[in-house]
């Protein structure tokens, strides 16, 4: 953490609140993502993780606060503009284009410099280079042998990797992974988490949103914990999990000190919400 703290952050989320009518989904959350790190964003169901992610990508508008990428405020930009600035998102619900092959799905993402302008897109036909990039990305996530296949018939494990390859093909400065392990069995989840770790080691900065605590603790260097829309802890995985507030949020009862008592009641409220 100290090493990370000296660098300037790649992404800065500052005092962000998101309200839907009377409901406060995110309440004054701040955190930073530093270049090169693999940050885990965790929290129990309904903690606001996905809303947080959506406010970073611009699907949800923030009510207060600011989101900056490399010092540039993203608040007013549409989703595709934020992506063009260097974000990439691997969606929780995998959505491959089913009428084109696995590799063409990735090539479509790799063609971002061409598809940026309709005129340029009209003038270009060949996707040879993009297919080559796509192949590299498929190799990186370990599904190169599926390149020519129809994505509509692939099992979830392959599709999750396809979704990630598509995000990587955009050569993002920051890769956002929304529950990539959800729905996988423990063996698949373990393998994919290791792949994520490898990709991070190759120099891609990643925010990993996950439910699977064990895998997050294994691969992430730092964690931010949300509960009931608030940030309740951040730091190294082991230290965070020792935190009384975090334990109370996850276990939802019998906090043994005053600080945790407050969070404990919040998480019980949260449970009734769910």
Of the pair 78, 251, the CB lying nearest other proteins is at 78
61 versus 81: smaller Cβ distance to other proteins: 81
DSSP, res 9: P
Positions touching other proteins (CB under 8 A) are: 57, 78-81, 83-84, 89, 91, 95, 97-100, 108-109, 111-112, 114-118, 120-125, 127, 166, 170
Let me know: does 146 contact 135? Beta carbons within 8 Å.
Answer: no
Give the nearer residue to other proteins in terms of CB position, either 7 or 99.
Answer: 99
- Rg of the chain's alpha carbons, rounded to an integer? 19
The Cα 201–Cα 82 span in angstroms is 24
Whose Cβ is closer to other proteins: residue 47's or residue 83's? 83
- Give how far Cα 114 sits from Cα of 24, 82, 136, Å: 40, 17, 19
Smallest gap from Cβ 10 to other proteins, in A, equals 18
In the complex, least distance from residue 253 CB atom to other proteins, rounded to whole angstroms: 39
The CB-of-7 to other proteins minimum distance in angstroms stands at 26
Q: Which is nearer to other proteins, 177 or 246 (CB)?
A: 177
Minimum distance of other proteins from residue 148's CB (angstroms): 17
Question: Could you tell me the smallest distance in angstroms from the CB atom of residue 106 to other proteins?
Answer: 10
Scanning the chain, the segments in alpha helix (DSSP H) are 2-6, 49-57, 79-84, 102-110, 112-115, 118-123, 128-140, 156-168, 186-201, 213-219, 237-242, 244-251, 258-273
Contact 224, 234 (CB under 8 A): yes
């Amino acid at each position: 953490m100290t090493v990370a703290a000296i660098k300037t952050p790649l992404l800065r989320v500052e005092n962000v609140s998101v309200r839907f009518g009377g409901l406060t989904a995110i309440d004054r959350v701040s955190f930073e993502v530093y270049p090169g790190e693999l940050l885990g964003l965790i929290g129990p169901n309904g903690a606001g993780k996905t809303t947080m992610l959506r406010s970073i990508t611009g699907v949800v508008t923030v009510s207060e606060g600011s989101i900056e990428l490399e010092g540039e405020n993203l608040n007013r930009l549409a989703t595709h503009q934020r992506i063009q600035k260097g974000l990439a998102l691997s969606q929780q619900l995998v959505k491959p284009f089913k009428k084109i092959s696995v590799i063409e799905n990735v090539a479509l993402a790799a063609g971002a410099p061409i598809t940026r302008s309709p005129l340029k897109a009209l003038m270009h036909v060949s996707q040879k280079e993009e297919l080559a990039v796509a192949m590299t990305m498929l190799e990186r996530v370990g599904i190169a042998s599926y390149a020519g296949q129809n994505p509509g018939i692939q099992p979830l494990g392959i599709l999750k990797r396809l979704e990630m390859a598509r995000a990587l093909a955009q050569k993002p400065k920051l890769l956002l992974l929304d529950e990539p392990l959800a729905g996988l069995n423990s063996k698949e989840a373990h393998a994919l988490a290791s792949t994520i770790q490898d990709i991070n080691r190759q120099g891609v900065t990643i925010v990993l949103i996950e439910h699977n605590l064990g895998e997050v603790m294994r691969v992430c260097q730092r964690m931010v914990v949300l509960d009931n829309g608030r940030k309740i802890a951040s730091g190294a995985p082991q230290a965070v999990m020792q935190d009384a507030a975090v334990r109370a949020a996850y276990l939802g009862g019998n906090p043994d000190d005053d600080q945790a008592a407050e969070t404990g009641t919040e998480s019980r409220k949260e449970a009734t919400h769910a």
